[in-house]
Amino acid sequence: MIKWKNYALRAERDPRIENAIDGIGWYTSPIPRKRLKELVRRDNGRAARHFLLWLALLVASGAVAYATWPTLWAIPAFLVYGVIYNSADSKWHELSHGTPFRSHWVNESLYRLVSLMTFREPIRWRWSHSRHHTHTILVGHDPEIASPRPPHIALALLGLWYLRGALGEVRTTSAVVRGRIPADVASFVPESQWPEMVYWSRIFVAFIAAIVLACVIAGSILPAMFVGLPRLYGSFLHYTQAFTQHAGLDEDILDHRLSSRTVLMNPVFRFLYTNMNYHIEHHMFPMVPFYNLPELHAEIQSDCPAPYAGLGATYTEIFTTLWRQRLDPTYYARRVLPETAGASGDQRVMDPDFRKVA
């Protein structure tokens, strides 16, 4: 294995990177403030329609899955249920930003619910994701780099069944519930938040114990097939969508247009993925609720690289890039900005300490 950069989180922030963020700043496409104000408006009605439809689909597919258990028809039925269940992960993401509903208490209540469904402890993951937005794909600072170079393709494939994430969760949660905060977690969760993080981690362990107990009492794995196990058997579509966000693209650069992807998807996929396919737009203007991202995309399209035509086109690039990165970690897929686009200037954050090739 070639060792190139150290992707482990640094205990302390690098002042050179902080100065670059403060000085150069993240590139932002020009958009009139009046228009942006329209786009950031939250709408309880639109958000409620989306979430109610999702919950209705979850209940309906769950009913079909229950009715077919334990016949072979249960296999496709639970696959459909699992895919809909794992849509909770993208909804978790939106709710962590607090953007779907105008009523903040609704965002927070649903955030706790989908956190349980996805096994994302709400305190730690909120701070992790905040850091991801501060330091998007800045090596040593972003805790959510899904595809470090050189890529470990077998590990990446385990993500299709959430096995990679689950192992990390077991490792971290087993420490946090005992009040031991791992160094990487301590680097992005402030100490004042640790007691609440420990509290929620213990709730999560109790929640998992309750699922196991339900299975024991029922004498069947069926309860876990509805809550918990879908995270494993049904995560493949969500993972396939989410892995497109940054994999194979540039890193250590303060321009989301070059380190993130916007991928055009069909309405069903966009519904399940809660419009996170508009990922450049989301990173550039994270205040904009998911239902306004298509409009934001149209607004700044001329300032961004052409969106990918679909998952097929995206994975053609990702596969070829990651395959080449196995031997050449300096390689990445370069995004081409349109001639009309604003120049990003010198947005690159070079950190020589991370550029050592062994």
**Residues at the site binding other proteins, with contacts judged by CB under 8 A:** 22, 37, 40, 42, 97-99, 102, 104, 108, 126-127, 130, 133-134, 190, 192-193, 285-287
Q: How far is the CB of 107 from other proteins (least distance, A)?
A: 8
Specify the residue, 188 or 239, whose C-beta has the smaller distance to other proteins: 188
Q: How far is the CB of 37 from other proteins (least distance, A)?
A: 6
Specify the residue, 78 or 285, whose C-beta has the smaller distance to other proteins: 285
Q: How far is the CB of 128 from other proteins (least distance, A)?
A: 10
Q: How far is the CB of 105 from other proteins (least distance, A)?
A: 9
Specify the residue, 5 or 124, whose C-beta has the smaller distance to other proteins: 124
Q: How far is the CB of 327 from other proteins (least distance, A)?
A: 37
Q: How far is the CB of 156 from other proteins (least distance, A)?
A: 28
Specify the residue, 65 or 106, whose C-beta has the smaller distance to other proteins: 106
Specify the residue, 195 or 338, whose C-beta has the smaller distance to other proteins: 195
Specify the residue, 104 or 180, whose C-beta has the smaller distance to other proteins: 104
SS3 annotation, the chain = CCCCCCCCCCCCCCHHHHHHHHHCCCCCCCCCHHHHHHHHCCCHHHHHHHHHHHHHHHHHHHHHHHHHCCCCCHHHHHHHHHHHHHHHHHHHHHHHHCCCCCCHHHHHHHHHHHHHHHCCCHHHHHHHHHHHHHCCCCCCCCCCCCCCCCCCHHHHHHHHHCHHHHHHHHHHHHHHCCCCCCHHHHCCCCHHHHHHHHHHHHHHHHHHHHHHHHHHHHCCCHHHHHCCCHHHHCCHHHHHHHHHHCCCECCCECCHHHHCCEECCCHHHHHHCCCCCEHHHHHHCCCCCHHHHHHHHHHHHHHCCCCECCHHHHHHHHHHHHHHHCCCCCCCECCCCCCCCCCCCCCECCCHHHCCCC
